[in-house]
Structure 1
Amino acid sequence: MKYVVMKRLTLAGCVVAALAGTLSACVPLVVGGAAAGTALVATDRRTSGAQLEDEGIELRAKNRIDSNLGTRVRVRVNSYNRQVLLTGEVPNLQDKQLVEQVVSRVENVVSVVNELAVLDSPSLMERSSDLLVTGRVKAMLVDARDLSSNAFKVVTERGTTYLMGRVTQREADRATEVVRATPGVQKVVRIFEIISEDELARMLPAPDKSQPATSKPAGG
């Protein structure tokens, strides 16, 4: 297994999983941009600034790839906490290296994991299969009650599922176990920023220790 130390969970993946019949009936699906966006910002382990920077990195990187290489490549750009994952296909090794160089120069990019394949672009059926696998993985992470599904970003290309996120070693190992058991997953590549259990505890909201006041009966 490839393990790079250094799934934001999108509604699209949940919708695909629900349509495929893989999302547990007990899991609520909230549709609505404002509500969903607020929930993701609140539960994401990145700072709000890092989340905005990741969105900007993805947009700028994609625009620069299109400007420099046009339609001869098919590249997906995913950024998590300023670490960029490149997946897709390019016609030759030179273009693979060029894409990485272009993306590494984008503002705020800390590192680049280049998983581009020198292959022909996949068929529509293969892309649909990858989308379905991603939906299944996200559903499995939601159903794993000992994991926070929003801590993981999930990308699938040609049967290989990539996991990104800021997680503890315990969470990394548990998520890998869950994803390996997901139908359709051929290989798991982990691109995690490992944090300590203490760091995770500081990220979590403090428990509400307030108790409702009890009133004494009159004359007691």
Structure 2
Amino acid sequence: MSRLLLSRLFLCVTILALPVLSGCTPVGTAIGAASSVGVAAVQERSLADAATDTRIRLDLNDIFLSRDLALFSAVGFAVVEGRVLLVGNVARPEDRDYAAREVWAVNGVREVINELKVGPAPGLSQIADDRWAATSLSAKLLGDAAIADVNYWVLVNDGTVYLLGVALSEGEAERVVDHAREVPGVRSVVSHVILKSDPRRAS
């Protein structure tokens, strides 16, 4: 069985098994959070990196939940090879800085990409649209045989799609962005995807 087919089978099982998450934490992030052993075996990142990423996610959940429930509900994040992407809306600039400091304090974090916005959270209608966009884009990536979808994490907040992951080629990375732009209701796309050959992966 091919590596790509294995990744799709693991992701299909994962999607069916996961509950729908609230706030700005979309389905794509949930897929990444569940990929510790089975899915990680067919990802570009190593099993060791996958295990570290899972531990970082658990640590961040614990930190935000125990220290600041408001931030826990407002901040969505994805972790790939120690690179942490923060997405959401916070009330004050200090909250944005605080969240970044808390992430940097977690062992194994190598980069913090702070896309948190200061301002009111999206309304219920926009949250529903964001969830639909995340689910739609995840399905598009899953259905595209030219994309190793298991290497990508999708977060959507207030009509903006944020991408994190490892692309096998520039063409694949561009294809992912193109899919995101085609999802109805998406106003902008921000990609923090790096190439497989990027020297930051070995740092």
- TM-score using structure 1 length: 0.69
Structure 1: where are the runs of 5+ without partners? 1-7, 17-33, 198-220
8 Å Cα contact 2:37-2:47 kept in structure 1: no
SS at match of 2:39: helix
| Mean Cα deviation higher: 49-58 or 116-125 | 116-125
CA distance 1:39–1:72, change in 2 (3 Å) = closer
Look up the match of 1:157: 157
Measured after TM superposition, the shift of residue 38 of structure 1 is 5.6
**Aligned counterpart, 2:30:** none
The residue aligned with 1:63 is 62
Calculate percent identity across the aligned residue pairs: 27
Alignment partner, residue 184 of structure 2:
183
Q: Structure 1 residues 72 and 56, CA, compared in 2 at 3 Å: closer, same or farther? A: closer
- 3-state secondary structure, aligned to 2:122: coil
Give 1:138's aligned amino acid: S
Report the Cα distance in structure 1 between the residues aligned to 2:162 and 2:106, rounded to whole angstroms: 22
Whether the aligned pair in 2 keeps the contact of 1:14 and 1:135 (CA below 8 Å) is no
Shift in alpha-carbon separation, 1:37–1:102, aligned structure 2, 3 A: closer
Greater share of helix residues, 1 or 2?
A: 2
CA 1:135–1:70 in 2, change beyond 3 Å: closer, same or farther?
closer
Question: Is contact 1:142–1:149 with CA below 8 Å preserved after alignment?
Answer: yes
TM-score with structure 2 length normalisation?
Answer: 0.74
Deviations 1:111-148 (A, max 9, x none): 00111111122233322211110111111112222112
1:1-220 residue pairs with structure 2 within 5 A?
A: 11=15, 39-71=38-70, 74-167=74-167, 168-196=169-197
Amino acid at match of 2:91: P
Higher relative contact order (Cα pairs below 8 Å, separated by 6+ residues): 1
Question: Residues 149, 64 of structure 1: CA spacing in aligned structure 2 closer, same or farther, 3 A cutoff?
Answer: same
Deviation at 1:39, TM superposition (A): 4.5
Distance 1:38 1:64, change over 3 A: closer
Are the equivalent residues in 2 in contact too, given 1:14–1:139 (CA < 8 A)? no
Cα distance in 1 for partners of 2:57, 2:37 equals 20
Alignment RMSD (CA, Å):
2.8
Equivalent residue for 2:29?
A: none
* Partner amino acid, structure 1, of 2:61: K
- Cα–Cα, structure 1 residues 135 and 157, in superposed 2: closer, same or farther, change >3 Å? same
Aligned residue for 2:23?
none
- Which structure would you say has the larger Rg? 1
Aligned partner of 2:55: which letter? G
CA contact (8 A) 2:36 2:50 kept: no
Contact 1:159 1:185 in 2 (8 A): yes
1:159-200 superposed Cα distances (whole Å, 9 cap, x missing partner): 111111111212111211222112222111111121249xxx
Report the Cα distance in structure 2 between the residues aligned to 1:63 and 1:196, rounded to whole angstroms. Answer: 33
